[in-house]
Amino acid sequence: MTTDKSATSLDKAGTTADAPPVGNPDAADGAATVIDPRLLVREQGLSGYVTEFKRKISGGDLGSIPVIVGLAIIAVVFQSMNSEFLSAKNISDIATTMVATGMMAVGIIFVLLLGEIDLSVGSVSGVSGAIVAVLSVTQGMNEWLAILVAIVSGAVMGAIHGFFFARVGAPAFAVTLAGLLFWLGFMLQLLGDSGTINLDGDGVVGKLTTYYFTDVAAAYGLAAIAVVGYFAAAFLDARRREAAGIPARPLADILVRTAVIAVFGFAAAYMFNQYRGLPLALVLFLIVLVGTDFLLRRTAYGRKIFALGGSVEASRRAGINVTAIRISVFSIAGTFAAIGGLFWASKIAAANQGSGTGDLLMNVIAAAVIGGTSLFGGRGRTWNALLGVMVIVSIQYGLSLEGIATPIQYMVTGAVLLATVVIDSVTRKTQKTAGRA
């Protein structure tokens, strides 16, 4: 059987190539042509956004749309029930409380990108708080040094999990479940018979969640830095793409996106300044999000993580050291679990037997998944931790304002998590149907 060879246009940039023989003309006719969204926006303006949005929806690429819509609904519903929900104090409390869970969710996202899970982060966070309390309070060690030891210990604990998973070949679920139990016992052993060690509220750890930048210039300054930083990064990226002759976002598109960030950024700054000022905890969280996002999206190491989440065998054949990447990812998860543990210890001003237990692990995983990170690996961003933890903590605070019991809070959070997982599963199937997964 022979087929004619014909030339076809690949894109609107003028690049052409000979098309290979088509073995299934019907399938070829039904295949959707993928056009770079930057070209659509540049050539069609506002209608280009609509066209690209329709293409993403039909292909199952929902992105952060569900969680953003969910946050809007949460805000409207709880504000209508209680006018204090969007008050400056409540927003500031939410921003401070969500950091501990959010930090741990950042580490979990790295693991989820591999398509794996880490059940030990709650216990690791508890060990971190216990180490700081024992070393700085009981043993009299310098608090900064105690913090360093706790964070390094978290990285080592994560690396141990990664070793048994990547080198020995044990399932990550079983390894980290064993880690959950082992490190929980280790934490109880460290805390001793009393079970509780109080921390100095004026110490380094104590101030993580209690210190606020009271000068109004701090909050507005951070908002300005975020806006200018985003515009500069987007503008320079567009110029580099244009210089390379590939599609880039037009200036108007960048300005619109910058304006949206400015509105939300300065609105948040205004609300913080109406209460106690800019929380130190939130500043540290945002710094971590920016840094880890750069690591994942702009470095070779980050691309290797995404590659592993897509296909382990293909990554191995491409020359990626699969074992080393896996161990390092679990070490990163342990590191951020330890950092999250420090924020939890700061929140309660102590390390006790309840640290890292309860619903913490489920909230951490839920934050990553609700924010948009896929459970199947290969899709997600560290900013998903911010969106997801905002949903969880907002629900908890909204229900608490209404005096709704904790069991109901668990059920509501579980329902939201289930809905998110269902959306993720349906999205994945839609992408396979559309030939994009």
Q: Which residue has the higher pLDDT, 59 or 214?
A: 214
pLDDT above 70 covers a percentage of the chain that reads: 83
Query: 194 pLDDT band (50/70/90 cuts)?
Result: confident
Residue recorded with tokens 């290969």: 378
E-state strands within 151-295: 196-198, 212-213, 278-279
In terms of C-beta density within 10 A (0-12 exposed, 13-18 middle, 19 or more buried), how is residue 287 classed? exposed
Q: Cα–Cα distances in Å, from 239 out to 58, 99, 229, 246, 250?
A: 31, 35, 15, 10, 10
Q: Which pLDDT tens digit goes with each residue over 250-302? A: 888 889 889 999 999 999 999 999 999 999 999 999 999 999 999 999 999 99
Q: Averaged over 409-431, what is the pLDDT?
A: 74
d(CA 99, CA 333): 15
Give yes or no for residue 180 having a pLDDT over 90: yes
Paired with 36 in beta bridges are none
pLDDT above 90 covers a percentage of the chain that reads: 56
Q: Averaged over 414-425, what is the pLDDT?
A: 76
DSSP assignments along 28-59, one per residue: HHHPPPP--HHHHHHHHTHHHHHHHHHHHHHT
Give yes or no for residue 22 having a pLDDT over 50: no
Give yes or no for residue 201 having a pLDDT over 60: yes
Give yes or no for residue 25 having a pLDDT over 50: no
Query: 218 pLDDT band (50/70/90 cuts)?
Result: very high
In terms of C-beta density within 10 A (0-12 exposed, 13-18 middle, 19 or more buried), how is residue 79 classed? middle
How many residues belong to the chain?
A: 437
Give yes or no for residue 436 having a pLDDT over 80: no
Residues contacting residue 319 through CB under 8 Å, at least 6 positions apart: none
What pLDDT score does 247 carry? Answer: 78
Q: Averaged over 219-229, what is the pLDDT?
A: 96
Q: Is 380 helix (H, G, I), strand (E, B) or coil?
A: coil
- Looking at every residue in the chain, the average pLDDT score rounds to 84
Q: Averaged over 152-174, what is the pLDDT?
A: 96
Q: Averaged over 233-252, what is the pLDDT?
A: 86
Quick one: angle between helices 406-433 and 65-81, nearest 10? 150
CA dihedral 414→371→36→290, nearest 10 degrees, is: -170
Q: Which pLDDT tens digit goes with each residue over 37-57? A: 555 555 555 566 666 666 666
What pLDDT score does 409 carry? Answer: 77
What pLDDT score does 149 carry? Answer: 97
Q: Averaged over 79-104, what is the pLDDT?
A: 94
Query: 32 pLDDT band (50/70/90 cuts)?
Result: very low
| pTM recorded for the entire structure | 0.84
Query: 371-403 burial, b if ≥16 CB within 10 A, otherwise e?
Result: bbbbbebbbbbbbbbbbbbbbbbbbbbbbebee
Q: Cα–Cα distances in Å, from 410 out to 13, 151, 241, 360, 395?
A: 53, 30, 47, 12, 10
